[in-house]
Structure 1
């Protein structure tokens, strides 16, 4: 089958090099068609000419060579289902994908790079939202048809929690609530806490005012706080009734993330490529910067190195660095360009040895790679 590459390879892509460096999943993706000249346009999400598909194919091959040369571990897998959220379990060789066909768990053979499906959790209605417990990576909260379903992957036991309100987003609460409570954003734009252990539900009486259909719920990683963002930014303190404070934004947000813990605030992305740091100490924007002219679809700080941040912009991931002294302009470090279609989800994982990322895109493709050290500036808090 390698002969099919003859039409596009040049000195950059020697065939023996490609063949020796590609895993089975890469070959399956490349050889999905019998000929490069007849690549399925749906595969590359292209509606243009044959040449545009070939150009994308060349870029994909070059990206994979770069992945292999730069990253200690890299994997690209295309699945039949449509993933919209992905994440790791205990390590980079075990991961999950929430898809149109359910929540699917995979294992990767470290020696061969081949993947196998370990378990598939299906529901009677599509999964709308997934939250993985930060303390127990095998425990999941799903939203299915407005209700919450708890799934323990270790035991394969699930439980449905029917609340009085229809839920649209859910996330685990940390700190005093440990791993037994959830924050819920309800369809009527009230916010509540679900005490799973005691089977109690507490909800705010105040509805959030918004004319938008899109809302972002972000729970603080170490405090009993949550942020809800659309055209306004709201901080919700669950230690006090809950208490809600809100602030106007310049326009509707496209992404949100809590800043590293010593900087009490949020990073907010916008459709014009701007990023703003909002401080809840001064209740004001303390940094505003334009990174690109395209929407910032995701912002996430590395758990093990808070000065490193990943920002999703269409098909690419921008890696940037946060100044050690806190609120300052981000320094652009590198860009990951291996995706051929818009990225739908991207997350870090971290351990004592390295930091890795898992991503998925609109072409049913999942990427996993170790983030190079040069993308991770040394974190030196003052």
Structure 2
């Protein structure tokens, strides 16, 4: 017997050696390698089966990736680690399934929108432009969008803020429950219903004409429940100790809300308002009913028809010719950029006003 065998042999009366705790693991490149293998197999199966859609190839590859990851991990690392890798692979596949359509949308819009997007397009209207020929711009639609969204924000933000303050700081009875119920109902109201309500009340019953302000009223209805909900959640996050400390010093409740609660939650409140603005910026149904778009520049939102970016996109696409399609894609790219800027501003404000530890 060799010396190594003698050394490894258990001594009489001694406990047997413990099993190794370290299990074999797949190398770090294994997920990427399995993804490449699944992609190759998905493409091969798609070609052999005669599938023309690349989406079908991708779905086959995603299913193969999940199966291969779980099977190989179970054979090498054990059942427990295989379950962990199975959950991780499913999460990654779902993430890609959500991101790929978004990235495809942004790429398609950018690729088609840059054809006519330049300084001239941003600073000219469609007044006097023959729709069958290139030319024209979105200046009148930009003016309309900014004025309508701005008016809607001026209407909805104060009402939503005060409603949220009442629900969090004062509301305890049936009135608060009724307001909460109606806010929940308003959150799911389709935009066309808000447009029909303003059309029947503001234009038909009261006799006012089509205008940007009428569209802003409908947008405010859509924006209000979002502001109420976001502000309500931000106010609930303010620690009660701050309120109690202020009240213990003899400060009235209204001043406590104004000087303590609102400054503490101002970052989240502003973020919620900005996200609500981004939500209504792309609404087209109320604008079609109430604003009745125009090809000319109208700086007065209280009188006369007025265009907006969503209406401009609909109008140009409905014309059905190549120059109008290019203008529609360019306007869509501007609208996406506008919404993206609002979201970035909201995130910046949230970080700026975040509590410093």
- Quickly name the TM-score band, shorter chain normalised: under 0.3
Q: Relative to total residues, which structure has the larger strand share, 1 or 2?
A: 1
More relative contact order in 1 or in 2 (CA 8 Å, sep 6+)?
A: 2
Q: What TM-score, normalized by structure 1, do the two folds share?
A: 0.22
Rg larger for: 2
